[in-house]
Structure 1
Amino acid sequence: MDKNKLKLTSSEIGTLWGEYINGTMTDVVNRYMVSIVEDESIKAIFEDAIKTFAKQKKQIVAFIENEGFPVPIGFTESDLHKDTEKLFTDIFCLNYLHIMTLHGLLGHTTALGVSVRKDLRDFYDSCDNDAKRMYHQTIELLLEKGNFQRDPLFYPAANPEFISSQDFIDGIFGKGRRLGATEIISISFNLKKSIMAKTLSIAFSQVAQSKEVRKFLEDSQNTSDKQIQAFSKIMHADN
């Protein structure tokens, strides 16, 4: 078996499809945001993100076409309206790019985990390196501007402890207990994403021309509200 001529599997094609759809969506939003951002340091990071995806997009298209599959439609120039009023502050745009970079890191790692052919693995390695560079850039700039939202602090106990009853496994929804540090990781991240999703839904619903799209965005706001309330309740359960 010639390992350099392996056909891509369904999982590998699936990850390329996801990279293309997610990438073109993010690119449209990035190109809108770079058109409204006034802070030059933030604008520079968005310009870097746009150039980076343009390079990745060509490689994704080449992989898909070489396997004989049609290139997905994705999000296109028709979805971009630069003449729309400014919907977001510069800092929100930077926070958005940071959250989306985290999604990129997770997505590239998952894609790499199901890829076998070396050229595809090399591609996801490069995507991961690009995302890590962007991750560091967004954090550094958010810290510099005093706008990075850190996770809650965790205070140490006097001594190590062992789980001694079923109550811990029953979770915080049972008799109630303090969160573990590892549980805070996902809860805090999902809380930030829900707040970001609600803000985007509110903003886009103000300019959406389609009644169906506006209704969908309003429903999304309600969903995000419920998620935010649930995550916030968990985070403050032990206060």
Structure 2
Amino acid sequence: MSKRQVPLTAAEVAPIWTGFLGDSMANGVLRYFAATAEDREVKHILKYALGLTEDHIGFKKDLEARGEIVLPLGFSEADVNVRAPRLFSDLIMLYYVRQMGIGGTVAYSLALATSTRGDIREFFNHNLKTAAELLDRTTTMLLDKGLFMRAPHLAPAPAEKVRKEGWLNGLFGDRRPLNAVEITHLYLNTISNALGKALMIGFSQTAKSKEVREFTIRARDIASKHIDVFSQLLKDDQLPAPGTFEAEVTASTEAPFTDKLILFHTLTLTAIGIGNYGSATSASPRRDLAAAYLRLAAEVGTFADDGAELMIGKGWLEKIPGAIERDALIPS
């Protein structure tokens, strides 16, 4: 039996199916970005990222054509108006693509680790490399243009062992300073929320239905609150917090995206945020930080549930493939 005749496992179907949704959404967003970007170099990197989504979609459609998977409907040209006026600045576009690179390295690492079939592993391995390349290119461009927001610098210190249990404190009494890992997660989560807030500002200006518009406003306000929490934790140790992107959203109110794409995009960012908070919780020994991440993750989880209900109510939520419901097949 050839490797292409081996049926796809659940661990392979999951990233292919969900990845198709993400790729079809990102394809539309990137086409609009490429049409409205002003800087030639930014346009070039947007077209590179766009080409990656097209390659991903093509591979998955080939699998579907061979009868190996049924893909979701996803998003099409009808969900994007590339002729809409410019809504976001080139800076937002660059950070957006950089976040795509970060997300891609994480998602494709997991997909590669859980896949077994040769062609599927080759596909995810290639995607992992190109996601890393995308991340590297956008980081270099932001640095070259003097736009990259660096994490705080730390002075070298001698090696030292923890000598008291109070090192874990944070809820009561004296708090030790943040360590490098904790600073990193606070920095990354501040930037991701800042980018998300800017996107929500743009989405709230252009969403057509009241329900979707109110949902994006709620997302904007949650992101703003979380930015304040993370920034204050950094400032408490006299560390700089990353800047935000509100001023990088134009005053346009003409919709470049359908409400379906806006809502799905909002929920995608929400899911990424929950994952980020989980990673930060496990990597933050100081108890007040873990408590903060758990509290904020619970808030985002409730928001995600409400968003899923809204998607279902609109008839936009597609059902991911799953196990056969055997009991339903038994004659009554």
Structure 1-normalised TM-score?
Answer: 0.92
Cα contact 2:63–2:69 (8 A) shared by 1: no
For residues 93-130 of structure 1, give each alpha carbon's deviation from its aligned partner in whole angstroms, at most 9, with x where no partner exists: 11211122111111111111111111111001111121
Superposed counterparts of 1:128-167, under 5 Å: 128-157=128-157, 159-167=158-166
- Residue 161 of structure 1 aligns to a residue whose secondary structure is coil
Aligned to 1:184: 183
Structure 1 residue 3: Cα displacement:
5.9
Aligned residue for 1:50? 50
Cα pair 1:205 1:217 within 8 Å, conserved: yes
Per-residue deviation, 1:67:
5.4
Where does residue 193 of structure 2 map in the other structure? 194
Q: What is the alpha-carbon distance in structure 2 between the residues aligned to residue 145 and residue 75 of structure 1?
A: 33
Identity of aligned residues (%): 30
Q: Tell me if structure 1 keeps the 8 A contact 2:196–2:223.
A: yes
* Alpha-carbon distance in 2 for matches of 1:145, 1:60: 36
* Alpha-carbon distance, 1:183 to partner: 2.0
Q: CA deviation at 1:205?
A: 0.8
**Equivalence for 2:324:** none
1: CA distance between counterparts of 2:152 and 2:140? Answer: 19
Native 8 Å contact 2:26 2:53 kept in 1:
no
Partner of 2:313: none
Question: Separation in 1 of the partners of 2:160 and 2:183?
Answer: 18
Root-mean-square deviation (Å) = 1.8
2:93 alignment partner, SS class: helix
Counterparts of 1:43 and 1:64, CA distance in 2? 31
Q: What's 1:107 paired with?
A: 107
Match of 2:223 in 1: 224
The 10-residue stretch of structure 1 (192-201 or 208-217) with the greater mean CA deviation from structure 2: 208-217
Q: Given the superposition, is the C-alpha separation of residues 167 and 5 from structure 1 closer, same or farther in structure 2, using an over 3 Å criterion?
A: farther
Q: Distance in 2 between matches of 1:234 and 1:55?
A: 42
Distance (Å, rounded) in 2 between the aligned partners of 1:139 and 1:92: 13
> Does the CA contact (< 8 Å) of 1:8 and 1:67 recur in 2?
no
1:52 corresponds to which letter in structure 2? L
> In 2 relative to 1, CA 59–4 (structure 1 residues): closer, same or farther, beyond 3 Å?
closer
Amino acid at match of 1:178: P
In 1, Cα distance between equivalents of 2:31 and 2:97:
11
| 1:236 Cα deviation after fit | 2.1
1:4 Cα deviation from its structure 2 partner: 5.8
Q: Write the letter of the residue equivalent to 1:72.
A: P
Aligned equivalent of 1:121: 121
**Given the superposition, is the C-alpha separation of residues 2 and 42 from structure 1 closer, same or farther in structure 2, using an over 3 Å criterion?**
closer
Structure 2: runs of 5 or more not aligned: 239-332
Tell me which amino acid in the other structure corresponds to 2:85.
Answer: E
Is contact 1:65-1:71 (8 Å) kept?
no
Classify the secondary structure of the residue corresponding to 2:164.
Answer: coil
Where in structure 1 are there 5+ consecutive unaligned residues? none
Q: Quote the residue 2:214 is aligned against.
A: 215
d(CA) in 2 for partners of 1:67, 1:184:
48
In the TM superposition, what whole-angstrom CA distance separates every residue of 1:163-215 from its partner, at most 9, and x where no partner exists? 11222234x44442211112222221111110000000001111111111101
1:42-81 paired onto structure 2 within 5 Å: 42-64=42-64, 66=66, 68-81=68-81
User: Are the aligned partners of 2:7 and 2:68 in contact in 1 as well (CA < 8 Å)?
Assistant: no
- Asked if the contact 2:3–2:119 (Cα under 8 Å) also holds between the matched residues in 1, the reply is no
Q: Contact between 2:30 and 2:46, CA under 8 Å: does it hold in 1?
A: yes
Q: 1:38-76 CA deviation, whole Å, 9 max, x = no partner?
A: 111110111111112111111122335545432111122
TM-score, reference length from structure 2 = 0.67
